[in-house]
Amino acid sequence: RTYVAIVSYQQRQSYEEDFKAEYGEYQNLLARIESINTTFRRLEEQHKLVTPGSTAHQVKKENTVK
């Protein structure tokens, strides 16, 4: 673990500063992950609508792999 139990006000301030410095990056990464998850959910729903082996299935597969 990087952080140990807080035992002083200065330590608390240091942890808070670290949190504030990194929180923006965390929010950006979380937004990217949520966007990617949304894309995968949409692709999964589209995949359920086509018959395996059909032309539509092959087209979806080729477009997904790109």
Tell whether the torsion through CA atoms of 19, 21, 27 and 33 is positive or negative.
negative
pLDDT score for 17: 95
pLDDT score for 6: 92
pLDDT score for 24: 96
Please report, in tens digits, the pLDDT of each residue of the chain (66 residues total): 677 899 999 999 999 999 999 999 999 999 999 999 999 999 888 878 877 777 776 676 666 665
DSSP state of 1: -
- Among 31, 34, 4, CA closest to 23: 31
Whole-model pTM: value is 0.61
